[in-house]
Structure 1
Amino acid sequence: MTLQRKTAPEFKAIENIHLIHPERRELANGCKVFCFNSGDQELVRIEWIFGNLRFKPESPLLNMAVNSLLTEGTDSLTSAQISDKIDFYGAFLQVDYGHDNSQVTLYSLNKHLHHTLPVIKDIITNSIFPQKELDTFIRNQRQKLQVSLQKNDIIARRIFSKALYGNTLYGLSADIETYDTLNREDMRVHFAQMYQPSNCTMIVAGKIEPETLNLISDAFDKEWHNTGQAADTSQPVIVPAAEHFYFTEKPGALQSAIRMGAPAVNRTHPDFPPLQVLNTVLGGYFGSRLMANIREDKGYTYGIGSGMSALKYGASLFIATEVGADVCKMAVNEIEKELNLLQNELIPETELSLVRNFLMGALLGSLENVFSHADKFKNIHFAGLGYDYYDRYVDAIKTVKADRLQELAKQYLNFDQFYKVIVGKY
C-alpha cells in the first residue's frame, strides 16, 4: 500500500471512555480493599491509604511528619534494614502525604510478596520514630524550608493558601520554629490512632492471583487490630481571610511571582465538570488564553497557567505565574482582561471544539495501564462519588455550550473577588 503523505489521516472524535471497575471486599477488621485485576506482568501495586487526623493548631505538622517517618524504623527493623529488604527483592516502597490522606505504596513482583508484605505490615503497625531519625528529619526540613523561603513563587503559594483556607490543614504554612512542636510521644499517639484498619483503604492493582489476596488477608486481617478509638478525620470549618490583596516587596527581585484565585467547588458539585472546561480555556493547557496573551503575545513570562484544586473539605480555582518584575502590573492587567473577556464574550465554537478534543484526549491518555485506572477510582472514591461522575464529566466536555461557560465565568471568575498575591515588585 502506498502512503498518501499529502493527505492527513482521518480525524475521529473520541466517543466513549471505558474504565476498569474494582472488585470490592472488606476485611474482618474493617479495612476496605479494592482490587483492579488486569495485566500480564507478574507485578502488583498495593496502596494503604489513611485519612489524615483532624488538624491541631498546636501540633500542625503531625500528619506530615508521622507519614514521612514511617520507614525510618520499627520495633524490629532499622531504616537501613527496611531499605535493604525491599531492594533485595526488586520492590519499590514510598510514602506520600496529601492534604486529605496519607499513604504507603508498594510495587512488588507477585512471587516476592510473601517477603515484602511483612515489611509493610511491620511499618504500619510497629513504627517507633527513632529520636535520631526525627532529629535528622527536623534538621533537613528546616534547611529545605530556608531554601524554599528564598523563592518568590513558594512564598506566594504559602500566602495564597493561608488566605483561602485560614488556620486549617489546607492553609498550613510551617515556619522554622514550627518544627519545635514535634516530639516522639505525640507522634506515636497520632500514629496509633491514624494507622489502624478501620481508617485504611487498600487499593490493589496489577495481576492479582488468588494467592495474592490470601497473602494480603493473612498479613492485614488476622493480626491487625483497631485501637478502640476511632480515627477523627473531620476538619475545622474553613474561614477565608477578609483581606484580598497581599504584596510582599523584594527590592532586588528580577521576577515577581503572581498567584491569584478564589474559593471554588470540588468534584461533588455539578458545576465542577463544566468549570474544568472553562479553566482549560483560560489557562489549563499550552494553547490557553493566558498563554497566548501573556507568554506568546506580550512575552511577560515563560509560562502561566490556571488550575483547580479539588480537596475533600474545600476547593479553589487559581492562576499562577512568574513575570519580569518591570511588567508585573501590566501582567495583572492582562489577566484581568482575559477574565473579563470570558465574562462578556462567548467562546468561539472553533476554540471550544479544540478544548473539547484536548480534554477528551488527555482523559484517554491518562488511562495507559491498570494503575492509571486505580488512580481515577481514587479521585471519586475519596470524594464520596461513583463512576457516574466520569459519565457526567465526559458529557460536560462534549455538550457544554458557550453561553453556559459564560455564566460560569461570571460566577467564578470575578477579578474583584479574587485573592491576589504578589511577591517581588509591583
Structure 2
Amino acid sequence: MKARNPQKIVLHFILMSLIIMISPLSPQERFRRTPPVPEPLPPLILPEIFSVPLYNDLTLWVVQKNNVPIISLRVIVFAGESASPDNLPGLATLTARMLNRGASDLTATQIEERIEFIGGNFSASTHPDYSLFSFTFLEEYLDQALSLMSRMLIEPTFIKREIDSARTAMYYDLVQKSQSPDFLAKRQLLRLLFDNHVYKKSTYNEDVLKNLEQNDLSSFLENNYRPNNAHIILTSNLSLEAAYRKVGRYFTRWQKKEMAPSTPPSPEPIKQTKVCFIDIKGVKDATIYMGNVVMPATDPDIFPLIVMNQVLGGTPNSRLFMNLRESKGYAYNAVSEIEFYKSCSVFFINAKVRPEVVESSIQEILNEIEIITKNKVPSPEIEEAKSYLIGNFPLQIETFDDLTSKVAELKAFNLGDEHWNKYYENIMLTTSDKLFELAGKIPIMTPVVVVVGDGDLVLNQFGKFIKEVDTFDKKGIYLGTYKFD
C-alpha cells in the first residue's frame, strides 16, 4: 500500500481552510454576527387621569376603566412618619392602623363584616411622606364603601382596648421583622443616611411604641387628617362627573384646616464611606446593604439613574450579579434598587454573600460602581437596559389594583406626566453620555455600608482595606468601633 505524502496532506488542509474562509457565510453564522434589529415595542396606551378638587379642597383623581366590575380606591393622607412628633415615632403608623378598628357607631368587628359583605379588601400602610389606605370592592357597593371609608377617616373612635391591641400587633410585627438580616441592614442604613433628618423617624424600633397614647392619636388626626392634605384616587367605570358627585356626597363634611407646607428639606448625602456591622449569632450568610442619598424623583436626572440602576443591578444579567455570583462565586444574590421619597431618593445595593468573602464582596461592589463612574457604558448595554425597562412598565400596571397603586404613587410624589405618558420617551432619551455625566455627579462612591452577620464569622474578615467598622445592636444602638491594623 502506497504511503500518503505528509506535505500534500498539509497543503490540502490549507486549501480547504481558505475555501471555507472566503465562501459566503451560512445563514446561522450571519445571524450570530449580525443579530436582527429588535422588533419595535408596541405603543403604550395608558388611561387618562382626570382630576377635580372638591369644595373642601380634597383632590379627586379618576382613572376610567370600562367593563370592570370592581372599583379600586386609594386615599393618600400626606401624614407619614416624618409628621410624627420627634418624641413619638410610630404615631403616624399606629394612627393609620386604627382607622378600621372602630369609627362612628361601628365597632372593629362590624367594620370587618361590612368590608366582607361588599366583597372588599382594605389595608393601611405608612410611608415616611404619607399614609395610604387601599380599598377594593365590588362596583355595585360603591355607596356603602364610600360611606364606610369616610366614617373611618373622619370619625375614628380610638377605643383604648383597640389601641392596646394594635400597639401589641405592631410590637410583635417589629420583633418578628428584627429576625431578618435584610430588615435590620436596611433599617440601619436608612438610620445613618437620615441622621438628623425627619425621615429617620421611620426607622423606630419596638421600644418606642409604649409611649403612644389615646390623646396622641386624636391630636395627630386633628392636625393632619384633613381634606386639603389628602387625595382620593378612584379607578372604575365612573366618569369624572359621576365620581365627583359620589365622592362629594360622603366627603364634603370633612372639614379643611390651614396647614403648613409638608415637604421636608432634602437630606445631605454622605461624603465619606462608613462601614457598620450588626452581630446576629447563628446566621450563616453575611447580608450587605450599601447606598447613599441622591436626587428626588421629580429631578429630570432620575431617568438616567433608573437606566444606570438597571445596568448595575436591576436583573440577574446585570453587572453586580454577573460579577459577584457568576464570576467570583461570592454571592447568592446581588441587586441594586432606587427608593423614592418626596425630598430625595436612596440608591442602594443589596447582596447576600459567604462570610469569608464579605470584605472582598464590598470591594468588588465598589469596583463596579467606580467602573460605571469612570467609563462610559457601551451603547448595546444601554439599549438592553432601556428595552427591559420599557417592556416591564406595562407589567407594573397590568392588574386593576396595580394600576391604581401606580397612579397613587405618582400623585404621592407629585411626579406628573413625565412618569406617565412620557415615561417611554424619557427612558429612550437616556444615552451613554447622559448616564456617564450623571454617574460622575451623584455620591455613589461614598456609600454607607451595613453588614449583618455572625460576628465570629465576619469580623475577622475585615482589615485588608476596611480599617474601621462601627458596631450596633439590633435596635440601632451604637456599641463601639473595631479598628484593624
- TM-score where L is the length of structure 2: 0.79
Structure 1 residue aligned with 2:219, among 179, 189, 196? 189
SS at match of 1:269: coil
The alignment yields a C-alpha RMSD, in angstroms, of 2.6
AA aligned to 2:448 is: Y
Q: Structure 1 residues 369 and 257 mapped into 2: Cα distance closer, same or farther (>3 Å)? A: closer
Q: 1:378: how far off? A: 3.4
1:260 equivalenced with 2:290 (yes/no): yes
Q: Is the 8 A contact 1:57 1:167 kept in 2?
A: no
For 2:65 and 2:331, how far apart are their aligned partners in 1?
Answer: 44
User: Pairwise mapping of residues 294-373 of structure 1 onto structure 2 (< 5 A)?
Assistant: 294-369=324-399, 371-373=401-403
Q: Is the 8 A contact 2:121 2:135 kept in 1?
A: yes
Q: Is the 8 A contact 1:13 1:357 kept in 2?
A: no
Q: 1:236: how far off? A: 6.2
Q: Structure 1 residues 239 and 131 mapped into 2: Cα distance closer, same or farther (>3 Å)? A: farther
For 2:42 and 2:118, how far apart are their aligned partners in 1?
Answer: 43
Percent of pairs identical after alignment?
A: 23
AA aligned to 1:91 is: G
SS at match of 2:199: coil
Deviations 1:214-252 (A, max 9, x none): 33221112x2222x4536634366356677221234454
For 1:65 and 1:89, how far apart are their aligned partners in 2?
Answer: 26
For 1:341 and 1:356, how far apart are their aligned partners in 2?
Answer: 20
Unaligned runs of 5+ in 1: 1-6
Q: Structure 1 residues 348 and 229 mapped into 2: Cα distance closer, same or farther (>3 Å)? A: closer
1:104 equivalenced with 2:137 (yes/no): no
User: Pairwise mapping of residues 13-412 of structure 1 onto structure 2 (< 5 A)?
Assistant: 13-14=40-41, 16-52=43-79, 54-172=83-201, 173-208=203-238, 212-221=243-252, 223-226=253-256, 228-230=257-259, 233-235=262-264, 238=267, 244-250=274-280, 252-369=282-399, 371-390=401-420, 393-412=423-442
Q: Structure 1 residues 224 and 407 mapped into 2: Cα distance closer, same or farther (>3 Å)? A: closer
Q: Is the 8 A contact 1:55 1:168 kept in 2?
A: no
Q: Is the 8 A contact 1:290 1:305 kept in 2?
A: yes
Stretch moving more, 317-326 or 375-384: 375-384
For 1:405 and 1:180, how far apart are their aligned partners in 2?
Answer: 47
Q: 1:29: how far off? A: 1.1
Q: 1:155: how far off? A: 1.7
Q: 1:340: how far off? A: 2.0
For 2:307 and 2:447, how far apart are their aligned partners in 1?
Answer: 19
- TM-score where L is the length of structure 1: 0.90
For 2:271 and 2:373, how far apart are their aligned partners in 1?
Answer: 25
Q: 1:396: how far off? A: 4.0
Q: 1:343: how far off? A: 2.4
Q: State how many pairs are aligned.
A: 417
For 2:36 and 2:264, how far apart are their aligned partners in 1?
Answer: 52
For 1:50 and 1:165, how far apart are their aligned partners in 2?
Answer: 22
Unaligned runs of 5+ in 2: 1-30, 460-485
Looking at CA atoms only, which structure, 1 or 2, has the larger radius of gyration? 2
Q: Is the 8 A contact 1:21 1:36 kept in 2?
A: yes
Q: Is the 8 A contact 1:266 1:311 kept in 2?
A: yes
Q: Structure 1 residues 418 and 159 mapped into 2: Cα distance closer, same or farther (>3 Å)? A: same
